[in-house]
Amino acid sequence: MAASSAGNPSPANVSSSLPRRFEFSSDSPPKLSLSTDQHKYCSRALQFFKEKLQTPDRITQEFAHLQTTRTTPSQMARSCKVALDNVNVSKNRYMDVLPFDQNRVVLNPCKDYRASAQGYINASLITTSSSENISRFIATQGPLPHTFEDFWEMIIQHHCPVIVMLTRLVDNYKIVKCGDYFQSEDGPRDFGNISLVSKWVRTTDTSLVLRNLEVGYKESEELPMSVLHIQYPEWPDHGVPKDTVAVREILKRVFQVPPNLGPVVVHCSAGIGRTGTYCTIHNTIQRILVGDMSALDIANTVATFRSQRVGMVQTMDQYFFCYKAIIDELEDLISGCNS
C-alpha cells in the first residue's frame, strides 16, 4: 500500500482504505532482525556517529548554527495566519509555538463550525520522505481541555495508530503541562460525538505507561479505532532523561506498527522540544535501516523538521541526546544481530 503523500490526506480516503484495528501487545517488543545490508548500514552509521561524538565541538557548532537560523516572530506572523486568527488564538497553549499554514493539520469536520476557524488545531504534519517505510509524524501541543474533542477528531480522521506522550500532566513545580485527554480507566469518556474507552493499562520496567485505547464516533456503525498510547512521564521539560533506555523502548514499540497505517502523533507540552528530539531519533534510525545515508546529517534533519514546526529540538542537551540515543540504538541493533 502506498504511503500518503505529504500534506493533508483526505479523511474519507484514510478511514475507508486502511484497517481501523491493530492488535497491540504490552509484551516486550522483539529484537529487530537485521538483513545483511541493514547490518552494513548500521555499522557504517555507528562508526560515523561515534567518531563525531569524539569531537563534541563540531556538534555544538551544528546546533549553534541551527539556532542562528530560527524562525523570527515576523516570519511566524506571516506563516501562521490561521493560528493567529482571533477565533483560534485560545486554542494555542503557547503563543510562540504555532503551526505553519502550509503543513498544519486541517480538521474536516471540526466542532468549531465558524468559517474563519478553518478546521484549526495546533498540530503540524512532519515528514522527511514519501517512502512507505518511513513514519510520518503529527507534532502537536499537549491538548487543552477545550481542544480534547479536536484532538480525538484528528486521531480518527488521520488514522493515527500511536500517540507518544513525552510529558507529565503536571510538572514538579505544579504547572499544568497537558490536559487529561486520555485517562478513561473508570469507563467510557465522551468528547462531543466521540467516545473513548481504555482496554488495558500497563507500566513497564522503564516507567513507560502503555494504554490500549479504543476511540470512535458514538453514532457510527464502524468499529472503533485501536490506538496505542505511550506515555513517558519521566522526561523533564527542556531537559533530557538520565539514559536512553526508555526512549529506545518507545522506538522499538512504535516500530512494530506499519508506518503506512497513519502518522505517529508525538507531543510534550509545546510539541517541539522533547517532541522534536524523539522524532529526530526515530526518523534517523528508520532511514538508516532502509539505507538512506543522508540520515547521518542530523543537523539537516532538525532543520527540515524546523521548517515544518518551529523550534523542533529546543536545547543543546536535547541535540546531544539525539546523538547518544542513536548510537545506543545502533549498538543494540548490531549486537542483537551478532549474537
322-337, pLDDT tens digit by residue?
A: 999 999 999 999 987 6
Give the predicted TM-score (pTM) of the model.
Answer: 0.92
Confidence (pLDDT) at 20? 58
* Domain segments of the chain as ranges: 36-335
Cα 180–170–73 angle (5° rounding)?
A: 95
Instruction: Flag whether pLDDT at 244 surpasses 90.
Output: yes
Instruction: Flag whether pLDDT at 318 surpasses 50.
Output: yes
As a whole number of angstroms, the distance between CA 265 and CA 334 comes to 28
Average pLDDT over residues 201-227: 93
Q: Among residues 211, 189, 208, which one has the least CA distance to residue 200?
A: 211
The C-alpha cell of 14 is what?
Answer: 484514510
Q: Which residue has the higher pLDDT, 133 or 141?
A: 141
pLDDT per residue as tens digits for the range 250-303: 999 999 999 999 999 999 999 999 999 999 999 999 999 999 999 999 999 999
Average pLDDT over residues 216-224: 90
36-335 CATH pick, 3.75.10.20, 3.90.190.10, 3.30.1640.10, 3.40.50.300: 3.90.190.10
The C-alpha cell of 48 is what?
Answer: 560515523
Q: Among residues 46, 127, 52, which one has the least CA distance to residue 319?
A: 52
- CA dihedral 275→331→245→128, nearest 10 degrees, is 10
- CA dihedral 60→62→68→73, nearest 10 degrees, is -100
Ranges 151-155, 170-174, 215-219, most confident: 151-155
Confidence (pLDDT) at 27? 85
pLDDT band of 29, cuts 50, 70, 90 = confident
Average pLDDT over residues 14-42: 77
As a whole number of angstroms, the distance between CA 116 and CA 113 comes to 9
Instruction: Flag whether pLDDT at 232 surpasses 90.
Output: yes
Q: Report the mean per-residue pLDDT for the chain.
A: 91
By annotation, the residues acting in catalysis are: 268
Determine what percent of the chain is predicted with pLDDT higher than 90.
78
Residues linked to residue 316 through DSSP beta bridges, in sequence order: none
Confidence (pLDDT) at 291? 96
